[in-house]
A = this chain, B = another copy of it.
Amino acid sequence: METDSPIKAPATSDPRALRDALATFTTGVTIVTTRNTEGAPFGVTVNSFNSVSLDPPLVLWSLAKTSRSLEAFQRAEYWAVHILSAEQEALSTSFARPGENKFEGIELESGIQGTPLLPRCTTRLQCRTSFRYEGGDHIIFVGQIVAYDRSERAPLVFHGGKYAVATRKTPPLTLAPGTGAPIDPRFGEELLGYLLWRASQQFHLRMQPTLAARELTQEELLVLMPLFHNDGRSAPAFSSTLADLGLDAATSTIDRLAARGLIRIEPDTRRLFLTSRGRHEILQVFAMTKAIESECLSQLGDWDSVSLKNLLKLFILQTNPGLPHPWDAEDAVPQA
């Protein structure tokens, strides 16, 4: 019958290709824990979790028949599923490896019949085993939820074989005049350059009154902030770094900030230092910037905030044509 099929790949010819194909199904990440009959804690990282039924409330997950934890789970009446948060990537990695000391240093809480509960998760489900089913090289565990709790932490995601975070999908920003249809994405607001400019500008316009009140420009801020971390860098090299980033007037900006007493240029070496006034000023600006950031991110929501910062960093890293990072200790362009 397989001659009917336009699909050529036989299922088992290349286990790695099959695993990659299955990994295109995105999942959260969980750690499932229990205690064995001697009271020792067991835990494994699992992404084959899913909910099955609401009435009664059942969930399932599967465990390799070769797992060292298999016996403990097969004998356990209760186990707990922890849906991990985006901050728990390291915990996920640790519980994915075979090992004796996974629980070392973790402050456990105690669930039903002493089930070990991990802190700082997105959601925790305490379950009683309902069924154990045959599933090839795995056993499928089905359990009934008997208690649960949750937090507002953004969940960790496993996506294409990598840790990830997820983002709500959005509608178009504006619609074409007359038709009410989205504008042709080739010529308008869907252009990446516009989206980046607009998002950056929207943030900048919020900061504008604060900066104006302190008689600072965005460019001056981009000079002061890196100096907060790296005092003593060379003025020509630092100017050059900033010029590479498109801040053409970097040298005159540095001189102006020095004239205002916010930075000090060491006469012989031309090295730059933040004065105590400069340090005080930048701490004030940091605090105000953080307040504006918090306001924006609360409008975006906790989950998407994690994604936004993550994705901007990814974009900056992946598309960087070799531009320096102004926060780096060494200026990328050597002193002339």
Contacts and interface: CB of A to CB of B under 8 A. Distances in A.
13 contacts: A7-B117, A11-B57, A24-B155, A26-B28, A55-B137, A56-B136, A159-B166, A170-B310, A196-B204, A196-B312, A197-B204, A202-B315, A202-B319
A77 B55 CA distance: 28
Interface residues of A, number: 153
Contacts of A27: 25-28, 50
Interface stretch (A36-44, A250-258, A320-328): A320-328
B308 A135 contact: no
B230 A177 contact: yes
A89 B169 contact: yes
A216 interface: no
Contacts of A106: none
Nearest to A78: B1
B155 A327 contact: no
A52 B136 contact: yes
A110 interface: yes
Given A146-B11, A202-B319, A18 B57 contact: yes
A323 B202 contact: yes
A259 interface: no
Listed from nearest, the 8 A-B pairs whose CB atoms lie closest are: A53-B136, A177-B329, A200-B200, A196-B200, A159-B166, A195-B312, A25-B28, A11-B145
